[in-house]
Amino acid sequence: MKKNKISKNWINRQRRDVYVRKSKIEGYRSRAVYKLEEINQKFKIFHNGVSVLDLGAAPGSWTQYISKNYKNIKLASIDLKKFEEVKNTYQITGDFTKDIYKQKILNFFQGNIDIIISDMAVNTTGNKNLDSIQTSELCLDAMRFSKEVLKKNGIFVSKIFIGSTFNEIIDESKKIFKKNKVFKPSASRKESKESFIVCSMLR
């Protein structure tokens, strides 16, 4: 009964959500696209001709947004889940932390990358603290990978959760990047501890 009630509440929330409705009208696969749109409007991340890696890309709305709005983009996306193809992009199904998939990424770009974005999060367990810690580990993995493959003036954007590991992420970002900002888009639900860290200029 409890599970059915939660499912019903989720459905009702989706129906009321202006971003869910907007994504359906504009042809995007999820409301998450408007988080990236806000981040881009504030920090001016994307422009024509850049190379972009989208980590944790499924169902693909961030990849859609970049592909739709910018020209001559070299764009690769990777996720554990296979998702519907987005035209003019390279999609990988796998775990980016594994060497075999890192090599696929490197083979595609054939050089350093301009921008790495990550909306990765673990499947929720119901334990918010545990979920936050595990998602933070994904952010740190992505950040360290960025250190290896980004261009010197590259940009890294990642979902983070405000929690026990928040300071660790901030400290690590300051070791790797010269510029670091934390931003919560209005498209992120108010009750969510989700924010995004935007880093640039490798040290």
- What residues does 86 pair with on adjacent strands? none
> Would you state the structure tokens that stand for residue 131, as one six-digit string?
């979920």
For residues 195 and 181, what is the distance between their CA atoms, to the nearest angstrom?
Answer: 10
Residues with a known catalytic role: 159
For residues 110 and 191, what is the distance between their CA atoms, to the nearest angstrom?
Answer: 41
Q: Which residues touch 203 (CB under 8 Å, ≥6 apart)?
A: 175, 176, 177, 178
- What residues does 48 pair with on adjacent strands? none
Per DSSP, which regions of 34-139 are E strands?
51-55, 74-79, 90-93, 113-118
**H or E stretch including 24?**
helix 18-26
Closest to 46 in 3D by CA, of 27, 72, 11: 72
Packing angle between helix 128-149 and helix 99-109, nearest 10 degrees?
40
Residue 79 amino acid letter: D
For residues 202 and 177, what is the distance between their CA atoms, to the nearest angstrom?
Answer: 4
